[in-house]
Amino acid sequence: MSQENVEVVRALLEAWNARDADRLSSLMDPEAEFRSQVEQRTYRGVAGFVQYRNDVAAVMEDFHTEEDRFLEVGSDRVLHLYRVVGRGAGSGVPVSRHNAILWELRNGKMFRGQVYLDQRKALEAAGVRE
């Protein structure tokens, strides 16, 4: 089941990047929540996840992830390690930062996501030693 969960997370990120709310809805548990340390906020449901995308776009232009790594951490969790790249909205200042998201799935759908600004802390939270 774990590799299937990795594929769900990959599809979720593709839908998020494409701003495809219908696809997000099919990949998310109705009670899903997403916690961002950057915005210091918890987003709930598909509408919340779409709002998170909008909040990021308000402060960063041309953002995307690079160096994506997906680690299976148990039967219902996936750790996404990545580098976010973009430019500050308005300022054009380059942004490059290594982050992580620990995803929890329920019944094959995204149930909870937690952003970590420190990949080591994310690895610890997931119980993984690098």
Write out pLDDT tens, residues 61-89.
998 889 999 999 988 999 999 999 999 99
Alpha helices in the chain (DSSP H): 2-17, 21-27, 45-59, 119-126
Are the CB atoms for 94 and 64 separated by under 8 Å? Answer: no
Count how many domains the chain has: 1
pTM score, whole prediction: 0.91
Rounded Cα gap, residues 25 and 32, in angstroms: 10
- Please check the confidence at residue 53 and state whether its pLDDT lies above 90: no
- Please check the confidence at residue 2 and state whether its pLDDT lies above 80: no
Q: Phi and psi at residue 111, in whole multiples of 5°?
A: -110, -40
Range of the domain at 109: 2-126
Domain with 87 in it: what CATH number? 3.10.450.50
pLDDT band at 130 (very low <50, low <70, confident <90, very high): low
- Please check the confidence at residue 97 and state whether its pLDDT lies above 60: yes
Return the percentage of the chain with pLDDT > 70, whole number: 98
Return the percentage of the chain with pLDDT > 90, whole number: 72
* Number of alpha carbons in the 13 Å side-chain half-sphere of residue 22: 0
